[in-house]
Amino acid sequence: MRGLGDQLTETLKQAAQHERLVFLCSFQKEESVILDELLTLAPHTRVVTIDTGVLFPETLATWKRFEDHYGVHIDVEDASNPTNPWTGPEHCCTPLKVAALEHSLSGADAWVTGIRREQAETRAHTELVEPDAKRPGVMKYNPLAFWTEKDVWNRIVERKLPYHPLHDQGFASIGCATCTQAGSGREGRWAGTAKTECGLHVV
């Protein structure tokens, strides 16, 4: 854990050099670990979440716990669609979600994510620091790239960090209530479909 902890710290120190740094937060276990160090090293970070309007009630409660525990205000990018609400995997992760990301990164020179290589084949080659292939001049920091699920939980227990309660109910990865089921890895996301990514982290 010491080696990975040092890796996390050094990666976030690099990210902290950017004046217009954004952290995309979905209130999962990875975000809890990152926020624990990020706000000390880079208090100027803009922490932002994308609200689809169909988040789990537990996600909304965790949102409040994160703000209280870390002493941070989390900005909101609205990706809801009142006239055509998200109802399931077949109507999930519309362009509204990607547009919300683009708005959150407008003017940013770097952003931090909770991506880990272990999460999915589409993330297996993630580097700690890499240029954002979609956004020239923007760097992407993935400080947990080499962490395993066990490493993340060890840090949460060790530091008594708040975390999403659905993790205790078999949800390894948590998205919208309309299309997320319990499952290991990311198998509970868009269950029953061939979908593996929401579009935010795909080149």
CATH topology of domain 2-169: Rossmann fold (3.40.50)
pLDDT at 128 over 60: yes
> Is 88 exposed, middle or buried (CB count within 10 Å of its CB: 0-12, 13-18, 19+)?
middle
E strand map for 52-164? 75-78, 110-112, 129-131, 139-141
Instruction: Respond yes or no: is residue 198 known to be catalytic.
Output: yes
Judged by DSSP in three states, 76 sits in strand
Average pLDDT over residues 125-146: 95
Q: What is the pLDDT of residues 157-186, one digit of tens each?
A: 999 999 999 999 988 888 888 778 766 655
Q: Which of 146-150, 176-180, 195-199 has the highest mean pLDDT?
A: 146-150
Contact 14, 141 (CB under 8 A): yes
pLDDT at 38 over 80: yes
Residue spans per domain, the chain: 2-169
Catalytic option among 25, 176, 179, 198: 198
